[in-house]
Amino acid sequence: MSTPLQEFLITLKEKLNIVEVASGYITLERRGGSHWACCPFHHEKTPSFSINEADQYYHCFGCGESGDVIKFVREMENIDFMDAVKILAERAGLQMPQTGFDNQKTAELKRKRDSLLKIMNDCAHFYLNNLNSGKAEEHVNYILKRRIPSNIVRTFGLGASLNFHDLPKYLLSRGYSRQDVIDSGAVNESDGRLTDAQAGRLVYPVINAMDEVVAFGGRVLKKTDFAKYKNTKETLIFNKSKTLYNINLLKKLRKTQTIKEVIMVEGYMDTISLYQAGFKNVVASMGTSLTQEQARLIKRYTDTVLISYDGDGAGQKANMRGLEILKGEGINVKVVPLPDGLDPDDVIKQFGAEGYRKCLDEAMPLIDYKISVLERGFDLSKTEDKRKFISEAIKIVRTADSAAEQEDLLKQLRDKTGITYESLSRDLNSVPKIQPEERPKHIRRDTSNATTKASRFVIAAYLFGAKFAEEQLSEIPFCSEVHTIIAKYLISKRLLEERVQPAELFEFFDENTAEYEELCRILDYSDGDAFSGAVAEKYFKDCVTKLKLYDTDKQIAALTAEIEAETANDKRKILAFRLQKLIKQKEKLKSGDK
């Protein structure tokens, strides 16, 4: 008997089309009966990510990621299962059931998360009311000084913290538990006293892609020994390494237009200033070093990122590792040169939107930027410095993706240093090519034995309706539980004369298990000509024979051991007779005689 959860999920999936859902995140191209794209879960240049619309599942033939529409949304939004279900239920126009979903632990985690989100939402309104209360003169003056219009203040939800104590009193008066208030990150506890974590600061709500307030950033308004900007501590609902400021508005922008590129800045004011000036395709890393999670988050919206950090040496040089992370995720990274000492907000204030647009137009590819940064460390008028610079620059040029790019970079080096192109080219060819890592971790190694591979092909042949898969599936012995489970599912479908739905198999196995991985291996056969032609038919028969031989050998080994342990002659004769039959059966299998 199915549970309320299972019944709801069946209805939900019936009302959704995974192709339509996925099209909101990635660009799909229809080829034959499938839709294809470059995989959003690993870096690749040639599309190997496929969505089977008829059977409502996705599979990447490169990294093996597979799943149904719920898992796709969960992975793309970086959320848990229930949040993905909520998003899809809203899309499908279905009311979420009130009960039947959670065990005790899951229910408590859900209650905690919901409580923290409500607290943060109430905090945002509290700070906003403070700003409009007539008591936040310093905060208002700062906003006026930075020339932020009222509509932008509302768009970003800016607010004011007036003191240390009002916020915790307000939250407790709303009925929230003391522990939840502390765990939200909005309030600090010291010596048993609760205080506003953003006390006295101008407050910037941090809103995730789900339009939920998950954290706050705050800026001091007076000179102080404290940090100018302060972020909420990490909590159950806020992980800085997985968050980008303004991602919520970027997501809304994508619904109205194609986002060709995203500008990435360091802080809140840079984001707000650019947005106000018309550059709405902007996010901020909030001063943190760029992470792989942030790179994958931004890749859902664009393949090109323009890094626009401060124009001082530290800002422009910052985060080289972060830029490499972006590139490693298949993102085209360009660096925007800004006048020394200026940040994006300064450029907008001094030169206007047109002045900043000129900076964007001069954005340089990452490899050119590396050479530019390297050059700042040398005085090219000095012979020794010039030689060291050339030596290091050549190593960078060696990493270029193409010979044409290398040639262009060498010409630039020639013009900078006066060294002939021919000499630079010889030096380049003498530099050992950097060998790529043995294999990126997202590409799966397959060390399975021949029997396991045979089991996969046989199961896949039945699963995807190969014409030559006519032998009774129940008569084929499989050597692993996962193949047996899938075989029983296929047999039950045949008995009911129902169409096989591969997507249903995802409900049989928990993710991150050997069983789920094996299912993904089987799905590698879901595209192409794996089951057409005489070669495929012969391979199928060979695989079936291999499985039967494997099973027969197991029986022979077990029976031999039983004979050796048996002391009664009459029983040994009976066992020996059975052994002879198995040996003859094995010989028939080997000779191809069924």
CATH code, domain carrying 72: 3.90.580.10
CATH code, domain carrying 259: 3.40.1360.10
Instruction: Write the burial class of residue 95 (CB in 10 Å: 0-12 exposed, 13-18 middle, 19+ buried).
Output: exposed
Cα(246)–Cα(363) distance, rounded to whole angstroms? 22
Cα(123)–Cα(392) distance, rounded to whole angstroms? 52
Would 438 be classed as within a structural domain? no
Would 24 be classed as within a structural domain? yes
pLDDT of residue 438: 37
Would 504 be classed as within a structural domain? yes
Domain shared by 302 and 385, yes or no: no
Domain shared by 266 and 286, yes or no: yes
CA dist list (Å): 286 to 216, 298, 328, 473, 540: 11, 14, 21, 57, 56
Domain boundary residue, one of 198, 220, 237 = 237
Domain shared by 387 and 331, yes or no: no
Domain shared by 410 and 478, yes or no: no
pLDDT of residue 414: 94
Cα(520)–Cα(518) distance, rounded to whole angstroms? 5
Would 73 be classed as within a structural domain? yes
pLDDT of residue 203: 97
Would 442 be classed as within a structural domain? no
Cα(24)–Cα(309) distance, rounded to whole angstroms? 29
Domain boundary residue, one of 59, 92, 125 = 92
Would 109 be classed as within a structural domain? yes
pLDDT of residue 351: 95
Cα(454)–Cα(480) distance, rounded to whole angstroms? 12
Block means of pLDDT (10 residues each) for the chain, 594 residues, are 70 91 89 87 84 90 89 83 86 77 66 93 97 96 95 97 96 96 95 94 94 95 81 91 93 89 94 96 84 85 89 56 82 89 92 95 92 89 93 91 91 93 91 52 63 90 83 82 85 78 76 78 78 85 90 90 88 88 86 66
Would 557 be classed as within a structural domain? yes
Would 435 be classed as within a structural domain? no
Domain shared by 420 and 313, yes or no: no
Cα(215)–Cα(4) distance, rounded to whole angstroms? 34
Domain shared by 334 and 389, yes or no: no
Domain boundary residue, one of 364, 387, 403 = 364
Domain shared by 264 and 339, yes or no: yes
Cα(123)–Cα(580) distance, rounded to whole angstroms? 80
pLDDT of residue 260: 92
CATH code, domain carrying 124: 3.90.980.10
Q: Where would I find the beta strands (DSSP E) of 177-273?
A: 187-190, 193-196, 202-207, 213-219, 229-231, 262-265
Domain shared by 141 and 231, yes or no: yes
Domain shared by 385 and 487, yes or no: no
The tally of domains found in the chain comes to 5
Which residues neighbour 435 within 8 Å (Cβ) at sequence distance 6 or greater? none
Cα(162)–Cα(151) distance, rounded to whole angstroms? 22
**Domain span including residue 113:** 104-237
